[in-house]
Structure formats: C-alpha cells, structure tokens
Amino acid sequence: MGMTMTQKILAAHAGLDKVEAGQFIEAKLDMVLANDITGPVSIKEFEKMGGKKVFHKDKIALVPDHFTPNKDIKSAEQCKCLREFACDQEVTNYFEVGEMGIEHALLPEKGLVVAGDAVIGADSHTCTYGALGAFSTGVGSTDLAAGMATGEAWFKVPPAIKFNLIGKPSKWVSGKDIILHIIGKIGVDGARYKSMEFVGDGIKNLTMDDRFTIANMAIEAGAKNGIFPVDELTIEYIKDHSSRDYKVYEADEDALYDEEYTIDLSALRPTVSFPHLPENTKTIDEVGEVEIDQVVIGSCTNGRIDDLRAAAEVLKGQKVKKGIRVIIVPATQKIYLQALEEGLIKTFIEAGAVVSTPTCGPCMGGHMGILAEGERCVSTTNRNFVGRMGHVKSEIYLASPAVAAASAIAGKIYNPENI
C-alpha cells in the first residue's frame, strides 16, 4: 500500500522510506511554537530536563497572544516569562505586542511555515498549517519542551480520512461553513487521531483563508491534523510570504484511507453550530428564532482579511441592533492595517462595532468579551463548549463572519442573504 500525504511528510522527517498507520516514529521538526499560556509551562519543563540552549533559535516561535495585551498581573507574569526566555535564548521569532498577531495567522503570514514542513505547537489549533501542505499538530507543553531542546518529537503515524471536495460554494458559504458541515456530519470524535486529507476539484474554488479555516478546525473533529494538497494558489501564497525552500508531497494513488466522504460544496448552506459542541450543526434555514447579546468576529479561525471583508460587506451601510455588542478582532497587525487601508475598519465603527488589537481574548474566555449568565454570542471562533467564553450558563453559536455580521444587524441568528 502507498502512503497518504501526511505519512509521506512524516516518513521524510523520520529519515524513513516508508511508514504505516500506527507506527511509532521520531521525526525532525521545522518549527516549534508556543504562546503565553503554554510557553511558560514548556519553559519550566525545558529547565527541569536540564535544557541549556534551544536546538535552533530560528526554528522556535514564541507568540504572546492569548491574554495580551496583559489583562492582569498573572498574565503579565506569563508574558514576562516568555519574553525573558526569548531574550536569553536569542529566539528569532518572538513577537511582542505591536508586532504580534494570533499565532496561527501570524506564522504563515511571516513565512515561518511552508509546504512539506513538520510543525508542533503547544496549542491544539496548530493544525492550521495543513492548509499550506505541511504536517502540523498540537502537543502538550512537556512534549514541546522536548521539541525545543532536541528539535525532534515522537509520533504515532495517523491513519487518514479522505474528503473529496467537489463543486463551487455559493456566495455566502465559506470555509467555516464547510468545516462545520463536515464536523456535523462525522462528529467531534469522527476523526480521532486521524489525518483529515482534503482533495478534489472543489479545492480550486477555495481561497487560502478558506483552507486555513478548514485545517484549523480539524481538531474539532478529533483529528491529529488536517492537510490540503499543494496547488498553484498555495505556491503563490508561500512565495509571497516566505523565502524558504518548500517541498511538495502528494498522496500515492493506492494510499489507504479508513473512510472516504464526498462533499458537494454547491449544495451547502451557511451553517451554525449550536451549544455546546461544534457537531451540533444546523443550516441557516433551520436555526429558528435565536436572539443574541454579542457577536465576535475574529480568532485564529476567522480573523483573516477575507473574513473581515465578508463581515464588512454585510455591515456596509447598516447598523448593529441597539443593545448588541459586536467585537471585531483582526488576527494580525498586518491584517489590521490592511483592513484600515481598505476602509473596513471605518465600516465596522460606523456600523456600531468595536475593533480590538490582535488577541485570542474572547475565544477562550480570556478578555475582550466575556459572557454573563444567560447571554448568547454568535462567534466566528472554533469552540462552543460550556463556559468557553464566560459563564457556564452562557451560550456560544459558531458561524461564519457573514452570518455573524448579519446576526449583529438583526439581533438574532440571521441569514446574510436577507440583509
């Protein structure tokens, strides 16, 4: 049997001609990533294991993005730990407030990950970089500490599920709707410790931002990673953002997949995930009357420029309904500036939204939009678990930027087609 795309990347980084699902390997790493929550734990473990120097100062990325700008003394101490370690270790890719961004938007933008890479990060949404044709996955802080020290990590080679994407999505159907549809179809454990491998002619109809969103939420189906083939659009993106060499891996024709699904993108509708699991999906036509208190547009899932453009298109000339709080978070400083230059920020403010510096803040209940008891939020983030954004009796509804923006105007979950 042949190998999947993921298996080929892992085999190459393990120095092996072939690997099989279930095999344990030790692979060399191209990038090791941590943030202000997971990084300090990794640093302590690094020191406990006797680490003196990181394996390569250019292959570590430390990004304070979760509780930044510092929301309290504890978060300030976390960031101080990260900052001092970065300085002591002469880490090249340390991005402080003012030049930082949400890590999974920032690293591709900075050209730090390219096709064919093997990447670990002490954050579950590290799987985002599969959009570039890289193997990337989240690990625990102890594994990350070992990765910082040695430049290697052990893996159990994952089996794979093939998703054949066909057709062209309609105007208001985005990458977020596609991945929510898939998670609704297979469940939050439907791809547990498997590689979600996306193929098919429909991929040509997806932007890079769509692909980043889909790969980002592979973890919400329990996947080890999500990955896209490298096409002309991918190569164009890599060349625009990076000077690094990249390598294209393609699945063998006889690669083995545990399951195969065909997703007709033209048949999909805007999709919303109801509390309290991403798998609880309904199409926009099925949601009924769900009044809301808050809207969040941003995060590592949907804070990129295409996301902001979609939200602005809906909000242009409109007003946020009185009493609804709308928080918009560009994912990086570069995206923020681009949105400013394109007039998107003006549109948001005129509509009655607030715009935040890049931060993970509201996504994981950190700051910039905590929910009170009984409040409901439509969010473009990635998780709607109990208490994820604040009070355990609050509710989060996951949706695309277009649906979120339309909901802000209507004061309830709403179809952007009707704005």
Q: Are the CB atoms for 88 and 52 separated by under 8 Å?
A: no
The beta strand positions in 238-373, using DSSP E, are 259-264, 271-273, 281-283, 294-297, 325-328, 354-355
363 band by pLDDT with thresholds 50, 70 and 90? confident
Query: For the whole model, what pTM was predicted?
Result: 0.95
Token pair belonging to 345: 């920020």
What pLDDT score was predicted for residue 264?
A: 97
- For residue 177, give the amino acid letter: D
DSSP 157: P
CA 314 to chain centre: 23
Tell me, yes or no, whether 130 and 218 share the same domain. yes
Q: Do residues 257 and 273 share a domain?
A: no
* Dist CA 305 CA 355 (whole Å): 14
pLDDT reading at 90 higher than 90: yes
Token pair for 261:
């699904």
Please tell me whether residues 253 and 331 are part of one structural domain: no
Does residue 254 share a domain with residue 339? Answer: no
Degrees (nearest 5) of the Cα angle 17, 23, 27? 60
Choose the final residue of a domain: 198, 230, 263.
Answer: 263
Residues 6+ apart with CB under 8 A from 397: 272, 273, 274, 275, 290, 292, 376, 377, 378, 379, 384, 413
- Residue in 201, 156, 163, 214 with CA at minimum distance from that of residue 19: 156
- 259 Ramachandran zone, left/alpha/beta (phi>0; psi -120 to 50): beta
* 419 pLDDT tier (thresholds 50, 70, 90): confident
List the Cα angle 16/126/326 in 5-degree steps: 165
What confidence score (pLDDT) does residue 229 get? 97
Among 303, 130, 134, CA closest to 219: 130
Give the span between the Cα atoms of 299 and 123, in whole angstroms: 13
Residues 222 and 278 occupy one common structural domain: no
Residue 373 region, left (φ>0) first, then alpha (ψ -120 to 50), else beta?
beta
CATH code of residue 402: 3.30.499.10
Residue 44's pLDDT is 94
For residues 220 and 281, membership in a common domain is answered with no
Of residues 245, 219, 223, 309, the one with CA closest to residue 116 = 245
Q: Dmax over Cα atoms in the chain, in whole Å?
A: 62
- Per DSSP, the three-state class of 262 is strand
> Cα angle vertex 129, ends 125, 133, to 5°?
145
Are 280 and 214 members of one domain? no
Q: Averaged over 202-217, what is the pLDDT?
A: 97
Residues 205 and 315 in one domain: no
Do 128 and 158 have their domain in common?
A: yes
Tell me: do 289 and 341 sit in the same domain.
Answer: yes
Task: Identify the residue whose tokens are 């298109």.
Answer: 313
- Contact at 8 Å (CB) between 225 and 118? no
b/e string for 275-286 if b means 16 or more Cβ within 10 A? bebbbbbbbbee
* 141-173 pLDDT tens trace: 999 999 999 999 999 999 999 999 999 999 999
Give residue 35's Cα distance to chain centre. 14
Give the pLDDT confidence of 266-320 residue by residue, as tens digits.
999 999 999 999 999 999 999 999 999 999 999 999 999 999 999 999 999 999 9
Asked whether the beta carbons of 208 and 174 are under 8 A apart, the reply is no
Q: Give how far Cα 179 sits from Cα of 141, 176, 214, 268, Å.
A: 27, 5, 5, 11
Whether the CB-CB separation of 39 and 62 falls below 8 Å is answered with yes
pLDDT digits (tens, 9 = 90+) for 290-303: 999 999 999 999 99
The pLDDT mean for the chain works out to 96
With cut-offs at 50, 70 and 90, classify the pLDDT of residue 98: confident
CA atoms lying within 13 Å on the CB side of residue 211: 26
Cα angle at 64 between 73 and 92, to 5 degrees?
A: 130
Same domain, 258 and 276: no
Helices (H) and strands (E) counted in the chain, each on its own, are 13, 18
When pLDDT is cut at 50, 70 and 90, the band that residue 334 belongs to is: very high
Q: Rounded distance, CA 62 to CA 198, Å?
A: 29
Q: What's the pLDDT at 204?
A: 97
SS3 state of residue 154: strand
Boundary residue ending a domain (245, 263, 281):
263
Per-residue pLDDT, 307: 97
**Domain boundary residue, one of 247, 263, 279:** 263
pLDDT at 221 over 90: yes
pLDDT at 365: 86
Average of pLDDT values for 33-60? Answer: 94
Structural domains in the chain (count): 2
169-198: pLDDT as tens digits = 999 999 999 999 999 999 999 999 999 999
**Which residues form the domain of 51?**
5-263
Query: Is 182 in the same domain as 53?
Result: yes
